[in-house]
A and B are shown apart, each in its own frame.
Chain A
Amino acid sequence: MLKFEEILTKEDLIDYFEGKDFKTIEVDNGIEKNSNQNEYSRIEELKAKINNSLRTMSDDKKTILKSDAHFSQTIFEQLQYFPRRELTDIRFWQYIGLKYLQNYIWSRWEKSVKINTPLKNNEKIKIIKSTNKDDEDKWSSITTRFLGGTSLKSLTSRHAISRLFWPHHILEDHDLVKLCFEKQDIAVAVFERQYGMHPEAAKSFIKNISKKHTGLEKKNIQQEAKKLNRYFATINADYLDQNSIKKLIFA
């Protein structure tokens, strides 16, 4: 299994779609310790499973938007055996996204692309970069979904594939993952903040937010997330269990 040698930038993404080859390096595959499955077959299997899901999906874009929890499970099952060191490397995710799961990323994140419809490279470039009337570069927001970024949130919330893997890893429970992705604002509120890294805090927030605000309005979710974040300036989140965090949410 490979990953890019250097983190790809926006300009590199254009070059990639123009056919440029970027140097790659080997990934530590974690096979000996955790699994007897071949690393390449894991990725190929993941690609096949995802493409299969896309093929059986209706053309209605809403279906794919509502399928994050399903894809999260598939991605987690196939990639969980890689060492954490690799799973936190954005180069690993950039490579997987571009090399194996492009079809999914275009289908999920680009409004103008029909589900499971392959694009030509010039079409991809046209979507990714255009210029406005002042000749300034205008980058499509899908670039973030391919490239992630250098911050923590790029892994837990921005990159199209790792944002599905990490919540599953942290929440450890498919029903919670479903709850988390049912309303995108919840996933964003938790996994764009530092406390998304505290499994107990993330779990407790997701379990309890819908109890406190049954309507799950974006404004309320954001406010509660902010409030909890503030508590963690003076209270150590690592030390608390879900019940103690629930008390803070309902305080």
Chain B
Amino acid sequence: MPDIFYQHKILEKTIDLIITPSNIDLKFSGNILDFYKDEKKEELKLDASAKVSDIYSVLPNEYKDQPEYLDLLLLVKSTKSIFRKCYILEKKGNIFKTTLNLNKRDWRNEVEISALLTLKKDIKEQNGYASNRGTKLGWSSSYKIYFDEPEEKSGGASMELKWESFSGPKLSWLNEYYNEDVYTLDISRGNKMPKIYLNSDIDNHLRSLIEEKSTRSSRKTSSRDLIFQTIFNSIFTQLLTDSLIDLHNNVQEHERSGSDKEVVIETAWDELVEWKKKMIENYSHKILPSSRKKDALENLKEKIYDDKDAISEISRKILNIAQNSSDYNTQKVFTDHARLLLREEKK
């Protein structure tokens, strides 16, 4: 359900939508169907059925139990395909049903399907109830169909960490001057998530400390945590800086086109690669701690548009944002380590 405050009554429960491919070979995994994996099939036929609890609760009393005032729609949309369509589901008893066909030649990337309850006709205005035809009154969760392999996981994707020789061909840009370093971040992977590399040629003692799995508090684990925290801070700083600079550059570029603020911000955001969006989205409330958590992202985008110095102002604090953004606060990790060492010294 969208994060909007509706001034009219909406369904209290989400619409129960079930979508199944007519072809038994194809199956949704959760709400996702990877149709691109089936290279032979050109067309996807889907059966949709939906159930709405307490459907008439969205209508004022005088219209209650009158199905002619409501329509249940199946929305099919895909931003990348510049296409959206809505089908009216047919009521059969308590269930709403329809079928649809999607052809591979028509669609790109991700197609989203969901159900929406809507007002069918304009009705007399009554406080607390919708009155305009087309008003959104209730939602289902969405199904996603991928017509192309997603470039990266859509959310919660973690960064890959690999041991690799800094003198080897895979990390050729480090070979000449940086081959004795401990870690590096490959950020130049286009739309793909950056990768962290640890140098497989480092001293064995250091490697064994980094690979230590124990969670028991000791000099060893405390030193390992200290190393992790240092690596985290620098990598986080680079990722966030890169993401913010890209957003800033996109805003500036689209501002030159003469579009209005709303469009510039939206386009600049749309054109960021997914992982950069996630970075900014996940940490916007750390960047603007005085904003309400749910408003922080929008406030940040506006700040970058409105204030030309916003980026330099954020850059001054970016190391501090990093120190406060990991699961383990930097000040705590460093202090714990210092205490442990000094306590042992006293003994």
Residue ranges of A at the interface with B (Cβ–Cβ < 8 Å): 28, 30, 83-85, 88-89, 139, 141, 144, 149-156, 158, 166, 170, 188, 192-193, 197-198, 222, 226, 229, 233-240, 244
Contact = CB atoms under 8 A, between A and B. Distances in A.
Contact of A235 (B80, B134, B271): B134
A25 B60 CA distance: 58
The B contact surface, by secondary structure, is loop
A197 B157 CA distance: 30
Contacts of A222: 260
Q: List the 7 closest pairs (A to B, CB-CB), nearest first.
A: A151-B270, A83-B105, A238-B86, A235-B134, A84-B106, A239-B134, A192-B263
B244 interface: no
B149 to A, nearest CB: 14
Interface size class of B (residues with CB under 8 A): 35 or more
Contacts of A233: 2, 4
Nearest to B73: A239
A101 B195 CA distance: 39
A107 B75 CA distance: 41
Given A152-B80, A234-B6, A84 B267 contact: no
B260 to A, nearest CB: 5
A94 B25 CA distance: 37
Residue among A170, A229, A239 with max Cβ neighbours from chain B (10 Å): A239
Interface in B171-201: none
Nearest to B269: A151
B81 A84 contact: yes
A234 B164 CA distance: 52
B107 A85 contact: yes
Contacts of A144: 253, 257
Interface of A is mostly: helix
B90 to A, nearest CB: 16
A226 B79 CA distance: 19
Contacts of A84: 81-83, 105-107
A152 B259 contact: no
B27 interface: no
Interface in B124-165: 132-136, 147
B262 A226 contact: yes
A192 B106 CA distance: 22
15 contacts: A28-B105, A85-B107, A88-B81, A150-B270, A150-B273, A151-B271, A153-B263, A233-B2, A234-B4, A234-B6, A234-B8, A235-B132, A235-B136, A236-B86, A239-B73
